[in-house]
């Protein structure tokens, strides 16, 4: 028997083809069964939707086998979903995060033009949502993942980074460009062996030299994709530069780097410290920030770190 996962009626737009079968959970003589309500290759008609609304049914189901198809539907209809005032803020945040995670998984599996452009479309929709919804910061920060994968880490960095960028007054145009850059900041890691990326012990000097190549590799992938991006390169190339010039790939000092790269550097470190890695357990946010302040004072922009700590304090309940 197929397993199912729940979806909300509010995430399904009337008169659209969802692309996967939709089921109801029906009880009969004490037994619960998933009953087909709408086939994936037919339109989810408004009459079908309104019937569920009248019956106060908001919980539907999709087969686990169709999870990717459902995620693709959410991505294609994200702008509509995020502008729908009937959808609860908490539900919107979950949709944003799950859509980003699935989309970036595809990007890192196959970093080609069509997937990279998907990241830009998503970034623009997410920034519109953040600028429109005053509760976006709280709801998004609440659901960021604590398990580290390259793509979930990239979603976390883009989510936290975009919220912080808004907090310090970045304009909409820059937020959209840099959100795309944050989603793709570790793109170059797709050209590094997983045995190095997931190694539990200390990296050899040769292995670390390969790791240090990923910013330039990411920029090369972006160029090869023919995406036409410009500002996004700043985030990809400079997110590992340290303020004292000890970072990589170019050994730039604070005054030689873009302020958005310094912002991403802080969040990149913070998320890496607070998520579960193959070689280390997650640290608590307070301990991570303390470590960054006391032991990485030469690496990160301290004035920006102070603002980041204040920002987190206002939203981490």
Per-residue pLDDT of the chain (317 residues; tens, 9 = 90+): 579 999 999 899 999 999 999 999 998 877 889 999 999 999 999 999 999 999 999 999 999 999 999 999 999 999 989 988 888 888 899 899 889 999 999 999 999 999 999 999 999 999 999 998 888 888 888 888 666 677 889 999 999 999 999 999 999 999 999 999 999 999 999 999 989 988 888 899 999 999 999 999 999 999 999 888 989 999 999 999 999 999 999 999 999 999 999 999 999 999 999 987 766 788 999 999 999 999 999 999 999 999 999 999 876 54
Burial 114-146 (b: 16+ CB within 10 A, else e): ebbbbbbebbbbbbbbbeebeebbbbbbeebbe
Dig out the tokens for 287 from the structure: 């301990």
Q: Which residues contact 202 (CB under 8 A, 6 or more apart)?
A: none
* Predicted pLDDT of residue 316: 54
The Cα–Cα gap between 90 and 110 comes to 31
Please say whether the beta carbons of 45 and 70 come within 8 A: no
Domains contained in the chain, CATH given = 1-64 (no CATH), 77-315 (1.10.3210.10)
Helix H, strand E, coil C: the string for 150-173 is: HHHHHHHHHHHHHHHHHHCCCCHH
Alpha carbon 249 to its chain's center:
24
* Predicted pLDDT of residue 23: 96
Nearest CA among 89, 94, 96 for reference residue 125 = 96
Neighbour-count burial of 99, counting CB atoms closer than 10 A to its CB (0-12 exposed, 13-18 middle, 19+ buried): buried
Nearest CA among 60, 58, 138, 123 for reference residue 93 = 138
* Predicted pLDDT of residue 278: 65
The sign one gets for the Cα dihedral 200, 205, 210, 215 is: positive
Q: Tell me the pairing of strands 4-8 and 59-63.
A: antiparallel
* Predicted pLDDT of residue 228: 82
The Cα–Cα gap between 103 and 58 comes to 25
Find the length of the chain.
317
Please say whether the beta carbons of 102 and 68 come within 8 A: yes
* Predicted pLDDT of residue 315: 63
Dig out the tokens for 236 from the structure: 């990809």
Q: Which residues pair with 244 in a beta bridge?
A: 253
* Predicted pLDDT of residue 275: 87
């Amino acid at each position: 028997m197929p397993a199912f996962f729940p979806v909300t009626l509010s995430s399904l737009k009337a008169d659209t083809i969802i692309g996967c079968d939709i089921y109801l959970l029906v009880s009969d003589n004490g037994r619960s069964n998933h009953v087909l309500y709408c086939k994936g290759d037919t339109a989810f008609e408004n009459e079908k939707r309104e019937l569920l609304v009248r019956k106060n049914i908001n919980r539907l189901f999709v087969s686990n086998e169709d999870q990717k198809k459902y995620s693709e539907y959410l991505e294609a209809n994200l702008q509509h979903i995020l502008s729908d005032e009937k959808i609860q803020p908490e539900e919107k945040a979950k949709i944003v995060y799950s859509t980003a995670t699935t989309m970036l998984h595809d990007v890192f599996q196959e970093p080609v033009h069509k997937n990279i452009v998907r990241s830009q479309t998503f970034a623009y929709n997410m920034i519109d949502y953040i600028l429109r919804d005053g509760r976006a910061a709280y709801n998004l920060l609440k659901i960021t993942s604590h398990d580290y994968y390259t793509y979930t880490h990239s979603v976390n960095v883009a989510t936290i980074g975009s919220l912080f960028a808004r907090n310090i007054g970045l304009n909409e145009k820059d937020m959209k460009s840099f959100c795309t850059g944050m989603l793709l900041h570790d793109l170059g890691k797709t050209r590094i062996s997983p045995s190095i990326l997931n190694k539990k012990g200390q990296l050899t000097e040769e292995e670390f030299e390969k790791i240090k190549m990923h910013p330039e590799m990411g920029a090369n992938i972006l160029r090869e994709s023919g995406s036409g991006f410009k500002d996004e390169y700043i985030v990809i190339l400079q997110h590992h530069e340290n303020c004292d010039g000890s970072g990589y790939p170019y050994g730039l000092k604070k005054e030689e780097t873009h302020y958005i790269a310094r912002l991403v550097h802080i969040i990149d470190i913070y998320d890496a410290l607070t998520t579960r890695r193959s070689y280390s357990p997650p640290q608590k946010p307070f301990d991570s920030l303390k470590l960054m302040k006391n032991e990485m004072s030469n690496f990160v922009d301290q004035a920006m770190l102070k603002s980041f700590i204040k920002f987190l304090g206002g939203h981490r309940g």
